[in-house]
Amino acid sequence: MKTAIIGDVHGALAPLEALVAKLAFTAGDRLVFVGDLVDKGPSPAGVVRFVRQLSETAPYEVILIEGNHEDRHRRYYINTAQRPKVARVMAAEAPELPALDAELTEADRAYLATAIPFLHLPEWGALVVHGGIPGTQRSFPETMEQASQWHGRRAKAFRKILRTRYVSAETGKYLSLGANQPGDPFWAEIYDGRFGHVIFGHQPWLDGPACFAHATGIDTAAVHGGALTALVLPEEGAPCFESVAGIDYAPRKKTDWPDHPGGALTLTRGAETC
C-alpha cells in the first residue's frame, strides 16, 4: 500500500487535479491531505468538492487532516446559527468566510466535519498534523477516542497542533501569530522527535519541502507561486517527494516566514533513507 500526503492546497484546484493524476493511485492506496484545502486560492469550494468526491468514489482511502482554515470555517458556520453577532464580526474581518459558506453544500460541510486532528503512521514512525508540536507538549493521544476524552485546558492546549509555528526560546511554549520575537525558533528547529517524525503543513516554504531532523514540512506555497507537493511513502523502497507547479495567486509574506532549513529528507523505515 502506497501512502501519499499532500500539502496545503488552499483552493488551487488545477494543481491538485494534476498532482492526483501524477500520483497514479491504485486500489488499496491511501491519500492523506495535511489540511487547509480552503481559502487564499481561486477555487476553495471546488477543491472541497473534488476531495469529497474522491472520498466517495475512489478505490483508495482518502483522509483529511484538519487545518486551521477548516477549523475557522467550522466555527463560523456554527456561529451563524448559535452566535450570529460573533459570526458577523468574523465575516467582517474575513470576507472569505461567508463567501465560501455560500458555495458549500450540506454534503461538502458534512465531509469537512470528518476531518481528524492527526494521523499516526506506525509503519514509518511518523505523525501527521497540520501545524506543529509546541515544546510544552508532553503527551500525545494514540487514538481519536483517546483525544476525545481530553477536556478543558488540556483539550484547548492540544488544539494548538493546528496552528503552531513559532515557540518561545525560553519555554518552548506556543506563540500566537505575530507574537514571536527575534530568537524565538520555528517549532521544528527544536522538536526532539518525542512523538515520532512529524509530517506537517501550515507554514509555506517557497524553496521546496522543509526537511528538519525530526519533521518534514510539505506546504510548498502552492498559491504563492510555489508548488503543490506530496510526500510519497511507498510499500517498498524509500520515501520521496512528487510536485506539480502551483499558481501565483496569493500574496507572499516572506518577512513573516522562517528561513528554509535546507538538507535532505530524514524520514526512514528500517534502514532505508531518502
Contact 194, 249 (CB under 8 A): no
User: Which residue type occupies 59?
Assistant: P
- Gap between the Cα atoms of 134 and 82, Å rounded: 31
Check residue 271 and give its pLDDT: 34
- Gap between the Cα atoms of 120 and 15, Å rounded: 27
Distances (CA, A) of 193 to 55, 138, 214: 31, 12, 5
pTM: 0.96
The CATH number linked to 236 is 3.60.21.10
Segments of the chain scoring below 70 in pLDDT: 270-274
Name the grid cell of 219.
506546504
Check residue 255 and give its pLDDT: 78
Contact 42, 72 (CB under 8 A): no
What pLDDT digit, counting tens, does each position of 67-97 carry?
Answer: 999 999 999 999 999 999 999 999 999 999 9
Name the grid cell of 71.
477549523
Strand (E) or helix (H) holding 268: strand 268-269
Check residue 25 and give its pLDDT: 98
The number of distinct structural domains making up the chain is 1
Structural domain that includes position 24: 3-273
Contact 247, 223 (CB under 8 A): yes
Residues 6+ apart with CB under 8 A from 158: 117, 137, 141, 147, 150
CB count within 10 Å of CB 244 equals 20
Check residue 273 and give its pLDDT: 37
